[in-house]
Amino acid sequence: MRANPNIVVTGTPGVGKTTHCETLAERTGLRHLSVNQVVKDKGCHEGWDEEYQSWIVDEDKLLDALEDEVAEGGCIIDWHACDLFPERWVDLVVVLRVDTSTLYDRLKARKYPEKKLQENLDSEIMDVLLQEARDSYDENIIVELTSNTTDEMDSNVDRVEAWIKQWKKDNPPDGGNDDGTI
């Protein structure tokens, strides 16, 4: 049993995953687990895709690299996909959403190649990440939140922080029995 929950923060590139994860980690003391960073640092890839300007991820290697840390609990997992993680690892899935024009501006500012930019906009418009979450996890653990403005982000962080507090109340370390028995 984990002492702290694992939360996946997912969504199309540019929706605000990293910003949310960093703020949440600061506020709650849970660990921001940047899957991108693990892919890079631990070489969980089969090389660099020049056209898309991204790593070609080796999912088996990545799962192996993440397993011990995630099993411990208390990870805020920052990744633009979520079908990778087994259901038993995940307590909450936050799918961030953003308006198309806002996403366009954010990806343009990142100087994404035109094809990559367009594909990511299409993915957001067609709810690809939300659908992926629904295909992979129980709908009761999925929450869809908008991330167009800093006010929305503040309110999202408040909500997730409150959810974590409640999770800890519902999942006390001794299973809720004073004498530690089941």
**Residues in binding site for ATP:** 14, 16-19, 110
Task: Tell me how far, at minimum, the Cβ of 16 lies from Mg ion, in Å.
Answer: 8
**Cα 173 to Cα 182: distance, rounded to the nearest angstrom:** 12
Can residue 54 be called a binding residue for Mg ion (CB under 5 A)?
A: no
| Contact present, 10 and 180 (Cβ < 8 Å) | no
* Integer Cα distance of 63 and 87 in angstroms: 13
The answer to whether residues 48 and 56 touch, using CB atoms and an 8 Å cutoff, is yes
State the maximum Cα–Cα separation within the chain, in Å, rounded to a whole number. 61
Smallest distance, ligand ADP to C-beta of residue 81, A:
12
Residue 152 lies near ligand ADP (rule: CB under 6 A): yes
Alpha helices in the chain (DSSP H): 17-28, 35-41, 59-72, 100-109, 114-125, 128-136, 150-170
One character per residue 95-114, x = contact with ligand ADP (rule: CB under 6 A): -----------x--------
Q: Is 147 in the site for ligand ADP (CB under 6 A)?
A: yes
17/90 with CB nearer Mg ion: 17
Among 2, 18, 69, 102, binds Mg ion (CB under 5 A): 18
Rank residues 40 and 168 by Cβ distance to ligand ADP and give the closer one: 40
Strands 45-49 and 54-57: antiparallel
Residue of 13, 39, 95, 120 interacting with ligand ADP (CB under 6 A): 13
19: contact with Mg ion by CB under 5 A: no
